[in-house]
Every structure is written in C-alpha cells, then in structure tokens.
Chain A
Amino acid sequence: MLDHILSILIFFPAIAAVFGFMIQKDSIRAYGISVAAIEFGLSLWLWFAFDGNVSGMQFMENLPLVPSFGINYILGVDGISLFIIVLAAFFTMIGIASLTETPNEKNMIITLLFLQMTMVGVFAALDAIVFYVFWELSLVPMLYIIGAWGGPLRIYASIKFFLYTFAGSLVMLVGMLFMAYFFYQATGVWSFALLDWYRLILPETFQLWLFAAFFIGFAIKVPMFPFHTWLPYAHGQAPTIGSVILAAILLKMGTYAFIRFSLPLFPDASAAFMVPIAVIAIIMIIYTAMVAYAQKDVKQVVAYSSISHMGVIILGTFALNVEGITGSIFLMIAHGVVSGALFLLVGVIYDRRHTKLMSEFGGLAHVMPRYATIFGIMLMASVGMPLTINFVGEFLSLLGFYQQSHILTLLAGTAIIVGAIYMLSAYKKMFFGDVTKEENRNLPDINKRELVALIPLSIITIWLGIYPKPILEPINNSVEAVVQLMHNKAQTELAKERIPNLVKERVLVIKKTVIEEEVH
C-alpha cells in the first residue's frame, strides 16, 4: 500500500466525493469528516514512513500516459512537498469539521473533497503535464465555492479569480511545452518528467525567457505585486472555508512551484532575476502591509497581510541558499497555519454579527475573552513573535537573504514593523476599548465546534515555534540537494557566486581533518 500511497492520497478523496452524492443530506457531514480524517491519517502515515534523512524523491510512482510524448503519471514527495500535503489534508479535515451552517452543505463537502484531490495532486506531481492538470483543476472547485457560497460580489470575484490565474497558467503551459521541446532537441526524446528536466542545462538566454514564462504563471498564483488584486476580492467574497483553504494551501502552489521549477531548472536566470524579484518582494511586504493598515474590513486586513507574508516567502526563496529556501518553505507551512487560523477567527465573528467591519466591533475582549486570547496568539504569530511558528520561517528567510544583500534585507526586515502596525491596530479596534455597540454586548464566546479547529492550530503554532526540528530537518535535507543541483548547473559567474556550493566546503573540511591527522 505504501508504494501507491500518493495515488491513494490523491484519488481517495475524489472517489469518496463521487460516493458522497449518494449519501443522505443528514449524514454528509459525518461522512465528510470521516473521509477527511482518513485522508489526514494517511498523510500522517506518509510522514511517518518518510525517511527524513534522504534528500531525494520518495514513494515514486511511474505510469506511462502518452509515452510517445514522454507524458507520464509520475508522483513523488520530498521534504519540500511532504509537509504541504500533510497541511492540505489537515486543513481539509478541520475545515469540514468546523464548517458552520451552510446552505447546500452536501455540495460544499463534495467540492472540498474534490479540491483536496487537486491540492495533493499539485504537490505530489513530478511530471509537468500532470502538475499542470492538477494546477488548473484546483481552480474549478474554488471557483464554485466562491461563486456559489460567496458574498454579494461573488460572481465578479470568482470569475476574476478564475480568469486571472488561468491566463497566467496558460503562459506557464507554453513555457512547459518549450521546455519539453528543448529537452527533445537536446536528447532526442520527449519528456515532461521534472527529474529529467533537472538534468538539462540550458543556455542563459533560453533560461531567461522560460523563467519569465513560468514566472507569470506562478506570480499570479502567489500572488505577487502587481498581480495581486484578485486576492482581496476572492477573500472578501469567499465563505470562511474558501478563504481558509485559499490562504493556507492554494497560495502555496505558486511559491512551491518557484522552488520546484524555477530554481532548479533555471539557476542562472534565478540568479540574474534575483534583485528585481527581491524588489518586488519588498514592495509586496511594505506596500501591501500599508494597504492592510488602511482597511476597514478585518477580513481584508488578513487578506492583504497574506500578500505581505508571501513577500517574505518569495524573498527567502530567492536567497538561493539553504537557510533562505528552508526558511521560505517553513514559512509556507507557518503562514498556512496562521493565516488559515486567522480566517477561521474572522469567520467566528462573522457568523455572530454578519459583518466584518472593524468599526462595528470594539471591546470584544470583554465579552469574548477566549476568542480574544486565541486571536491574540495568532496575532502574535502573524507578527513573527519568537517561539511561534512564523518566526522560524521569517527569521530564516531574512537571514538567508542577508547573505545576498544587506540593504534589501534591511528594507524587507521592515516586515516586522509594518506587520505589527496593521495587526495591532486591527486588534485594538476589534477587542480593546469599551463595548460601544449594543449588539456586541451579549455575543456568545467561541463554541466547541470552532475550538475543534482553533485549538489544534494554536498548539501547532506554538509547538513548531519551539521545536521546528521535525519539519525543518527533512526540508533542510531536500533543500540542500536543490541548492547543490543549482550550483552544479549554474554557468554564469553571477550564479556561481550567488548560489553556494555545499559539497566543496565539506571536502575542504574533510581534507583539513585528514591533514591534521597526518600531522599528528
């Protein structure tokens, strides 16, 4: 069973979703929770069986689809993708478990299970075409979630979300086709397998163009400035569960793809584009943090804060060294947990008051102390308090990038200031002061169903902040392999200089000890 665990992880929710149509309305919730729980259990099993000391791909599956064009169904995980898969399974589970009264609950749960298939598929796929298929498929359930359960502007928001990201991915598809063609030219066989592509060393000019093509697809998904405007609409209109999944998992596809595709395929181009991308990342950090500060709607604050944090992730990715990339992957997990929790928390108050305007609240800490506490924990995680999950990622990302540029890191480091500004002011508006609105006076505090989701998230937030090793170590091992691959493939002086060589240093150290031993 372990041989096919990835396929099982991908298709089990999908098959379960199909069967879900036959389940009665009353029991669909229990059914959904059990399916998601089994899926989560399987993902934990995957983690358990995963060998953290191996840097390469594990649990590989290979099934020819269109052999003549080298399109195969190839799956595999390494430290980079493993935890995002676990996170996706986890969020689907707690998302369904904490689902509040929803019209057409059955459709919602079935959609979520389909969405889960696409999410796991994206992170497990090692064939460009398979990856692309899941990448695009993931749009459909989300389109449906926003379009069917969203707010008043839901049609506009969902269409915008769909078309914008779809347009970007088409450019990426062209890039993939070109890549395969270059591979064909170089080797005489067609292949869309990522691991084959890794072996291909492209001339720098080709790399620049292909990097740009992939970049557009990924950047819109992340979303990077200035392609980010679909996100506030999507979050603003999506129901809570939609925002949670979107922020926690779907956005990570873009940053994950940068590490999976852009860096190892185009090391020279990555090094060449490092500074412009870092500048964009800094704009994302500062500019969207300021926009977040100007918001009146608390959900928009969290939405823009997501973009700001994604800026740090991008920065860490393009640090091109182990510390930075490891940090950025860790921050993906961290941001998934924290922003997911924040959207859930916003959902809590929205269910009670049917508004998200901060001016409608105030003094909530008096009436909902538990809610205020959990919100406070997530707030502090979001601003990067040490011993919370976010700090580890942010610290490592910035630390990594510092090796590349002092000034740019100094600018990006303002993330810790501007982040505190919008988050604390939002918290102050919502929770502090006296209760001014009569409606808020008798709000019930957080209930059990909501705690089911929020307590585990709080525990993870602190646990991984104190002891990140179980996750950091496998990530680190896989990242070292990626960085070494990039260094080996790099041709330009710039890339050689910016991407550290891990092996050489070790050899030197070994030689030194050998010499010392000889002397003794």
Chain B
Amino acid sequence: METLLYIALFAPLVSSMFSALFTTTPKKTFVGVIASLLIFTSFVSSSLLLALIVVNGSAPVHVEMMTWMATGDLYIPFGFIVDEVSVTMMMVVTLVSTIVHIYSIGYMDHDKGFNRFFAWLSAFVFSMMVLVMSDNYAGLFIGWEGVGLCSWGLIGFWFHKESATWAANEAFIMNRIADLGMLIGIFLVYWNTGTLQYEGAFEAFQTLDTATLTWIGIFLFIGAMGKSAQFPLHTWLADAMEGPTPVSALIHAATMVTAGVYLVIRSNELYSLIPNVGLFIASLGAFVALFAASMALVNRDMKRIIAYSTLSQLGYMFAAAGLGAYWVALFHLMAHAFFKALLFLGAGNVMHAMHDELDPFKMGGLKKVMKWTWIMMTIASLALAGIFPFAGFFSKDTILEAAFAEHHFVIYGVLLFTAGLTAFYSFRLVALIFHGEERYKIFGIHPHEAYRFMLVAMSPLLILAMIAGVLQEPFFHMIEEILSAHEYHIHSHTTLWIMLVGTQVFVALAILYAYKKYANAFIKVPDGTSAIENSFAYKLLYNQYYIPYFYEEYLVKPYKEISDMFWNKVDMKIVDASVDGIAGIIYGTGEKTRAMQSGNLSTMLKWMVVGLVVLLSLAVVFGLAARYSDSITVILSGLGVM
C-alpha cells in the first residue's frame, strides 16, 4: 500500500523532471506521451488505493517519509495520508490530469514550448497531490504554494504576451495575499495545539475556546478564499484564462481552485465546532454563486463565461461546506471537476477550430462541423445546469436540499435562482457557438473538428458527466464515517417533489429561453449600439462590477506611486540626505578649522595661548568645585536640585 502511495505521489514529479530535461530542445512528441503515461500510472495507483480502501475497507494509509523541519517543539514531517477524503481528491486530480495530458498532446501540437508545457503541467499535478495527501497543515501549504507557482508558470505560459504575464503575476500576488491569512492560521494552530498534524490538531481543537477556534477558522478560510477565488479575491480567476485552455480545464476548473473547498472539508472537525464561521462561509459562497453567475450572463468571452461559472460553482461548494454538508461539497467538487473539465476541453476544441477566437458571437452554427464537440459541450452544460439524470443534478440538488433542510431559506433561494442563471448562461454559450447562422464565415475561418484521439481522451469525462449521479450512494457510504455525514431529508415527500420538479422546470425554462433568444438567425455580432448594451446593468455586469477597475485605480496605482515616493522622496531625500548632511557638517567643520593648523608660527602661538587659558580656567573651576564640594551639595540640595 505504501508503494502505491509513493507511486501515486511521485510519478507526476518524475514526469515533470523528465519533461524539464527537454525544455530547451524543440518539440518532442514522446515527452508528452511519457508524461501522460506517468500521470496515468499515478491514476492507476490512486484507483488501486481507492479500491483497497472502499472494497477491503482497510484503514487509511499513513506514512511518514522523513523529517522536514524540527526545531524547539516544532516537528513537521513529510507525512502523507490516504483516507476516504484524500483518495477522492486523488482520483479526481489524477483522472482529469491524465485526460488533460493526453488532450494537450494534440492541443499544444504546434507550440514550440511543447516540452516545457508538460514539465509545468506535471509539476502542477505533483503539487496538487502533495496538497491533498499531506497529513499536516505545513505539507498542505507546500502543495498550496506549489500549485500557485505552477499556475503562475502556466497562466504566463505564452510569456511573450503582456496580458498573459500580467495575469500570471496578478494570480500569484492575489494568492499570496490569501496565503498570508493561511500562514497566520497555521501559526495559530501551532501555538494553540503544539502540532500541525491534522490528527493531533483536531484532537486539541476539541478543548480550545471558541474565540481561538473562530480565529483559526477565519484565517484558514482566508487562505481558501484566495485559492478558490472567492470574493473579493476573485478577479484573478477570469484573467487566468490567458493560459492555454487545457490549463484552464485542469487548474482553473477541476483541481486547483477547489483546493480551498478541500481545505474546509479537510478541517471539518474545526469548522463543525464554529458554526458561525460556517454560516459566514455558506453566505459568502451563496453570494459568490450569484455574483459570478450574473457576470457570466453578458460576457462575450467563451473562456471567461466558463470561468465565471466555475466561480459560481465554487460558491455552491462553499455554501454546502459552510452548512456542514461536507460530503455534499466534496461530491459536487468531484462531479463539477468532470463536467467542467469537459466543458473547457470542448471550448479548447472550438478555439482551435476558430483560430483562437473567443467571442461566441463570431461563431454560430458550428454543430455541423464539430458534431462531437457539440454533443460533449451540450451534455456538459446540461450537467452543469443540473438536469436529471446528469451529474450536476445529483450534486447540485443535494446542496439545495441541504440548505433547505437546514432552514437557511435565503441561501436556498439565492442558490435556486442562481441555478436558473447557470442554465441560462450555459445554454446562451452553447446556442451562440453551435446553433444559428454561421457567422464565422464573415471572418473567413474554416473550422474543423479536433483530432480523433483528443475526442477519445475526453470521452471518460463525457461518460462521467452523464453517469456520476449513480456514484452518489456509494460515495456517501464511503465518506459517511470520516465526514460524519448524514443524508438530508426534507420531512414531507410532497415538499421534496415540489422542490425537485420545480427546480427542474425552472432550469428547463431557463434553457429554453436561452435557446430561443440566442439560437436564431437574427443574432449579430454586437457593435455596441444596441439599447441593451448601453444600459447601466449591462455595463455594470460587463465590467465585472468595476471591481478590476477599482483594484487597478485604488490599489495597484497607489502602490506604485507610494513606492516611487518612498524611493525618491523618503529614501533619497530624507534618510540618505540626513546621513550625508551629518557627514557634511563634520567635513565642513574640519574644512573651517583647518586654518588653525596652517603651520604659521604666530597663528599657532595665538591658539596655544587660547588653549592654555581654557585649560587653566577649567582647572580653576574644577579645583574650586572640588574644594567646596560639600557646601555646593548643601546649596544644591537646598535648591532641590540634588
């Protein structure tokens, strides 16, 4: 079992280092093949571990590889644990990674950074595995920062593009802001429990007072907010779409951004002790779900629309996790990984066909030339919208049920409304891309379907997006114990059925409306003249509520200006100038008094006399003072001085 664990963990690292050997050489297809094989090995090992745990019901595999840091009372090993939670994550990560690796062989076909791409991509998988498998917060933090680094390298993969490198830096720095919160959370855990191991820390949490636990919960959640792009740290995710599309599928949809959700689920023993923080998390999640969905309604960038939908779904996950329905959150995380990765890879096919065009208004009618992509994206969108019997129905509806059963009706309402929006914008996208007139012809593009093997690689995701729902029961039974999960039952059956059918009808209507509005022949490429484009709401949404603008104007620019001021004004003009000033005074004094040492005998004799007088008078004063010291003391003490 330990061997399996190490294979699952280190195969991606080997893959990354192998690919890295070829970074400076021209494209070699075998690099991609070997990398994919190694990631697949990791997937097989993870599956075997899953089988061992689920079928054999064996205890979690817990290994300690070696010491990392040990000083004072601090002891941090490289320890890894494979239990029900981490094995679920490992399955998701390795499965999607394998598919994305294979897909990338085709997608990055003509890119001269082909080998480098696989080095980064596999490094990402390794970091993600460290993140989910570590048995302590410090190990989690290694993976946490590691995925941030790889995300930086992959968003900025096409580093000749200013927008890409800018987005990469934005993502890194924004994540760093959140990581500070996470780091403080880790410090709090250490100084209050004396350990960073989950096991010991969770045990100690039971005895801590609520105030401390609340702080720990808040700071750890700040870390989660950055990685999972929750408001107000969400802007980097949409900009991260500058990276190659397989990266968006793997990192910015299926895995890395769910790390925050994973952290909350992993720390469930902490968060179930502080329901107030949980409620905050759930409320923020619900808010982000709606907030992100609203921005997706009007956007005209295919990848950004999917990115906002990711953001929105992350909100759902946090809503579930915050309400204590950790298993539901984890299940939605898994289901979402499948259909969202599928959606992104489909978008990648479209982009390839359309020569990197991203505006769906410039597409239309693509279903004729890209039949399989059309089918895949439609099914992925159905799953995302939560239509029975696709994956999203089971995972998302359970979140709604959980919110309802916990009597958080506001959260329920928001999430329900968002489900409608989700269906609308998803099918707006599908309708614009695949239906209606063939608007791309104006631009002289001749689209073509993706390579056959890319489609085959995507097929497991297609199947999972369709049938993941049947996994719900087994998943629940597997995870039941570790997450102290319970099923959410709405008391009356009538209510349940009304809810289920109502939701389905609502969502279906949203889909139909989207089709009606966008799948017709009258859609034109917007030119900014129509009334709706000039309405306030449209502009607000299109500009992402002006939040990026606000950050740019009120944070980035002032930071630059203050930095310049600190350098030019404070450091040079004040700090350094006073040093030079003091030196100047000393130098100047020397310069002035140099005349005394002119070597002229008469001048020097004069100064000698001055010196003699000064010395003599000093001697007289001190002599008198010594002689009459007693009476002086008396006088001074009389005056109250001494």
Contacts and interface: CB of A to CB of B under 8 A. Distances in A.
Nearest to A466: B68
Contacts of A295: 567
Nearest to A163: B583
Interface stretch (A107-115, A346-354, A409-417): A409-417
A472 B71 contact: yes
B169 A428 contact: yes
A188 to B, nearest CB: 28
Nearest to B74: A323
Interface in A29-48: none
B71 A396 contact: yes
Given A417-B177, A424-B172, A229 B72 contact: no
A226 B571 CA distance: 9
Given A229-B576, A369-B24, A363 B149 contact: no
B176 interface: yes
Contacts, number: 139
A160 B582 CA distance: 12
Contacts of B141: 386
Contact of A421 (B73, B156, B173): B173
Contacts of B67: 469
Interface string B67-83: 11111111000000000
Interface in A258-291: 287, 290-291
A428 B167 CA distance: 11
A413 B184 contact: yes
Interface in A283-307: 287, 290-291, 293-295
Interface string A467-478: 111001101100
Contacts of A327: 71
Contacts of B66: 467
Contacts of A421: 173, 559
A402 B184 contact: yes
A380 interface: yes
B566 A291 contact: yes
A428 B68 CA distance: 32
Contacts of B70: 469, 472-473, 476
Interface in B150-171: 152, 156, 159-160, 162, 165-166, 169
A326 B23 contact: no
A290 B562 contact: yes
B190 interface: yes
Given A323-B72, A398-B187, A432 B160 contact: yes
A120 interface: no
A416 B183 contact: yes
Contacts of A152: none
A366 interface: yes
A386 B156 contact: no
A7 B490 CA distance: 82
Contacts of A229: 571, 575-576, 579
A55 B81 CA distance: 35
Give chain A's interface secondary structure class.
helix
Contacts of A425: 169
A201 interface: no
Contacts of B443: none
A467 B571 CA distance: 39
B244 interface: no
A433 B159 contact: yes
Nearest to A422: B563
B571 A433 contact: no
Contacts of B187: 398-399, 402, 409
Interface residues of B, number: 52
B165 A432 contact: yes
Given A293-B563, A428-B165, A433 B160 contact: yes
Given A229-B575, A380-B149, A416-B180, A290 B71 contact: no
A225 B571 CA distance: 10
Contact of A369 (B23, B177, B562): B23
B564 interface: yes
B145 interface: yes
Contacts of A366: 160
Contact of A291 (B24, B559, B571): B571
Contacts of B152: 424
Interface string A321-332: 111001100000
A396 B567 contact: no
Contacts of B176: 383, 416-417, 420
Contacts of B188: 402
Nearest to B152: A424
A290 B558 CA distance: 11
A256 interface: no
Contacts of A287: 566, 570
Given A229-B571, A416-B176, A433 B69 contact: no
A405 B570 CA distance: 28
Contacts of B74: 323, 396, 399
A365 interface: yes
B541 interface: no
A513 interface: no
B69 A392 contact: yes
Contacts of A386: 141-142, 145-146
A271 to B, nearest CB: 18
B559 A326 contact: no
B72 A294 contact: no
B179 interface: yes
Interface of B: 23-24, 66-74, 138, 141-142, 145-146, 149, 152, 156, 159-160, 162, 165-166, 169, 172-173, 176-177, 179-180, 183-184, 186-188, 190-191, 559-560, 562-564, 566-568, 570-571, 575-576, 579, 583
30 contacts: A229-B575, A229-B576, A229-B579, A230-B579, A290-B563, A290-B567, A291-B563, A321-B72, A322-B73, A323-B73, A326-B71, A365-B159, A369-B23, A373-B23, A383-B176, A386-B145, A395-B183, A402-B184, A409-B184, A409-B187, A416-B179, A416-B183, A417-B177, A417-B180, A432-B165, A434-B160, A469-B70, A472-B71, A476-B70, A476-B71
Interface of A: 160, 163-164, 225-226, 228-230, 287, 290-291, 293-295, 321-323, 326-327, 363, 365-366, 369-370, 373, 380, 383, 385-387, 392, 395-396, 398-399, 402-403, 406, 409-410, 413-414, 416-417, 420-421, 424-425, 428, 431-434, 466-469, 472-473, 475-476, 479-480
Given A294-B564, A402-B191, A424-B169, 14 more contacts: A230-B579, A293-B559, A293-B560, A294-B563, A322-B72, A323-B72, A366-B160, A380-B149, A385-B149, A402-B187, A413-B180, A428-B165, A432-B156, A476-B70
Across chains A and B, which 8 residue pairs bring their CB atoms closest together, nearest first?
Answer: A322-B72, A229-B576, A402-B187, A294-B563, A294-B567, A290-B563, A386-B142, A432-B165
